[in-house]
Amino acid sequence: MRLQTGRKSGWRRFLSLLLILILLLPSVSAEEETAVRVGQIEYPLSLARYMLESYVYLAEVSGVSLTEEEMAEAVETVRARLISLGVIENKLTELGKNGFTEDEMDILRAEAARQYEQTWQQIYQDTLAYDSSVTESEVTSWMNSVGYSQDAFLRELMVGEREGRILDLYCADVKVSDEEIRQYYEDNFLNPDRERYANDIPLYEKEILLNQNEAFYTPEGYRYIKNILLPYPEEITGELDALRLEGKRRTYAVQTAYYALADAAAAGEDLTEKKAEYDTRVKELAAQEAAYRAREKEAVPLLADTISGIREQLAAGISIDTLLARYSLDQQQTGADRPGALYHPASVVWPEEAHQVIDALTAPGQLSEPYTDEEGIHLIYYAGNAPGGPRELTPEEQEALRASALYAAQTQRLTGLIEDWKQSYEITADLSGLLAE
């Protein structure tokens, strides 16, 4: 839940990713070159390098190539973060609150072990979904290679606890009003989602619906639909299976002809024969697909009595959920507690045939004409209009929002205090070696 960011929940998951990543390296040793020194606290160049490489990696996986100027800014971010951490550690050391008792360490170690196991299991299960041959040892080796160790999680928790201590000592009196919480929510959650999705249905569907993420704003114009999916009659299932198999064969033939054409073009050969072969295979595939779609549609009259019966029962007051449970292969939207799947006229996740029949429905309670695809014969029920605009927060989200807003206000106070405290410590920082590498 994106609002779960208060420092008292989830072991302060509001900490920045950079702060988490710096915990994946050991403390500075005598052999390592010091990059940042704040008073008595030192951080090694290897730590700064890891932080920078992690930042660059996050950019790369997002498809972004950093410019020299952006790299310089990233180095500055690393430098500033290390100095802030050094100031906090110095301040706590002066107060005698930088260490941990054995009982405290036992609690932290147990939590680190739990978080490590939870992360390991999640990565293992996610990997299995794409590659069933992956082994447990391979997952463990990969986690070790990127620094996901129990010690790394322990270091994260220790830094989180230190941050909590400094906030409790100097920022506990910070309060947030209802108006400040509302403004914080709009600035950090609602308005960004509104600006991103209000006029971009394809982006909303890609990031929110397909990836099953959450948004605090729903674009206007969505409706809830429920899908009665009828199986094809037994008398034509064998023929449809054969047509599908033939379609796969012809698809392979098109791919083979395409690769042969591409290889000939790369070798500078005459393309006449290869192009003719490719065009022939494409036409054959198109003809086969047309034949398949035509046979699909011929199945609809065979289920005319079933479809008519469904309409009659719906008109007689039988609930759509009862009809779904009785007839549909698709049970995902069955149940009064499920309003339905989201559909929008500008949707890109529904096929053209679905758009044609759903857009023809003018009011909730109506049942569409059938359309067909490989899954079967679809009857779409217009269940209602989905509320657009800001999403109503659950009580749990409202509580998390309050904690998150308070934490943001406290860390804002802390940022100002750190700027003042810097004057009390000798600070040296040399990260020039990072850009030279």
* Domain-wise residue ranges, the chain: 17-174+405-436, 221-387
CATH topology of domain 221-387: Chitinase A; domain 3 (3.10.50)
**How far apart are alpha carbons 158 and 23 in whole angstroms?**
9
What the block records as the tokens of 324 is: 């779904």
Backbone angles phi, psi at 157, to 5 degrees: -65, -40
Q: Is the pLDDT of residue 242 over 50?
A: yes
**C-alpha distances out from residue 99 to 90, 159, 162, 174, 421, Å:** 12, 11, 9, 25, 20
Residues 6+ apart with CB under 8 A from 20: 156
User: What DSSP element (H or E) covers 382?
Assistant: strand 376-385
**Contact criterion met (CB below 8 Å) for 422 and 87:** yes
Q: With cut-offs at 50, 70 and 90, classify the pLDDT of residue 2.
A: very low
Which of 32-36, 133-137, 165-169, 235-239: highest mean pLDDT? Answer: 165-169
Q: What is the pLDDT of residue 405?
A: 96
Give the pTM: 0.67
Q: Is the pLDDT of residue 11 over 50?
A: no
**How far apart are alpha carbons 395 and 254 in whole angstroms?**
55
Q: With cut-offs at 50, 70 and 90, classify the pLDDT of residue 151.
A: confident
Q: Is the pLDDT of residue 67 over 90?
A: no
Q: What is the pLDDT of residues 354-382, one digit of tens each?
A: 999 999 999 999 999 999 988 899 999 99
Q: What is the pLDDT of residue 147?
A: 67
Q: Is pLDDT larger for residue 225 or for residue 17?
A: 225
Q: Is pLDDT larger for residue 211 or for residue 108?
A: 108
CATH topology of domain 17-174+405-436: Triger factor/SurA peptide-binding fold (1.10.4030)
What angle in degrees, to the nearest 10, is found between the helix axes of 68-94 and 150-170?
Answer: 70
Q: What is the pLDDT of residue 330?
A: 85
The β-bridge relationship of strands 341-343 and 41-44 is: unpaired
Backbone angles phi, psi at 135, to 5 degrees: -105, 160
